[in-house]
Amino acid sequence: MRRLKAILNYPYFFWVILYAPAASLAIKFLGDDASAEQLLHPTGEFSARFMVILMMITPLKLLFPNAAWLKWLSKRRRPLGVAAFIYALLHLVLYLINVPTVAEILAEFWALGMWTGWAAFIIFVPLAITSNDLFVRYLRRGWKKLHRWVYLAALLTLLHWVFVQNNVGPALVHFVPLVLLEAYRIVKIQLVQAGNPDPVNR
């Protein structure tokens, strides 16, 4: 048990978990076992998945305030956010490889499934850059305000996924739990502010 805890708490263990899929995809791509087009969806999906997990942590802590696994995961929010950005960056690079000309990119840019993806990535950039202690100290209260843009990025990512894939099912599997948890968090906060922290005894 002690050995397992030591492994789980090893500083680089979580990074290995986060980037093992990227390594597997890179091996397939470099070995000509998968094309850029075939890897577009997996990289985008991992980006969305890590973003959703990151955003679920806070409402889950309201549901399970004493859960040890949530405390462990909460300490690793920043690596999750950075991983979401890295997979989004890989997704963009693969897209540019698959659609190599500016004319082709511009021709489909204003499609709902496309500009939402670009907008989500643009939001990801400052969030990833500021995901460190230096910017937390420098921006102070502005840091939290900046990182609330992740909610808009999540909405744009959902729209990008749905309209590019033309399949709402897989996207909803990822995002519906987040929406439900965020709704619970909002209700919980409102009840606390109203002086009744227990929604059951309202």
**150 lies in a domain?**
yes
**147 lies in a domain?**
yes
Up-side HSE of residue 170: CA atoms within 13 Å toward CB? 16
Q: Which residue has the tokens 């980006």?
A: 47
**171 lies in a domain?**
yes
Q: Is residue 80 a contact partner of residue 88, using CB atoms and an 8 Å limit? A: no
pTM: 0.90
Q: Is residue 159 a contact partner of residue 119, using CB atoms and an 8 Å limit? A: no
**5 lies in a domain?**
no
Max Cα distance, the chain (Å): 61
Question: How many structural domains compose the chain?
Answer: 1
**106 lies in a domain?**
yes
Q: Is residue 185 a contact partner of residue 58, using CB atoms and an 8 Å limit? A: yes
Any long-range contacts for 39-46 (C-beta under 8 Å, 24+ apart)?
39/94, 40/91, 40/94, 40/95, 40/98, 41/165, 43/87, 43/88, 43/90, 43/91, 43/94, 44/87, 44/88, 44/91, 44/117, 44/160, 44/161, 45/161, 45/170, 45/174, 46/21, 46/22, 46/83, 46/87
Q: Is residue 135 a contact partner of residue 143, using CB atoms and an 8 Å limit? A: yes
Using one digit for the tens of pLDDT, what is the confidence trace for 148-190? 999 999 999 999 999 998 888 989 999 999 999 999 999 988 8
Expressed as residue numbers, the domain containing 69 is 35-197
Q: Provide the percentage of residues in the chain whose pLDDT is more than 90.
A: 77
**83 lies in a domain?**
yes
* Mean pLDDT of all residues in 65-90: 94
Q: pLDDT confidence of 200, banded at 50, 70, 90? A: very low
**151 lies in a domain?**
yes
Report the mean per-residue pLDDT for the chain: 91
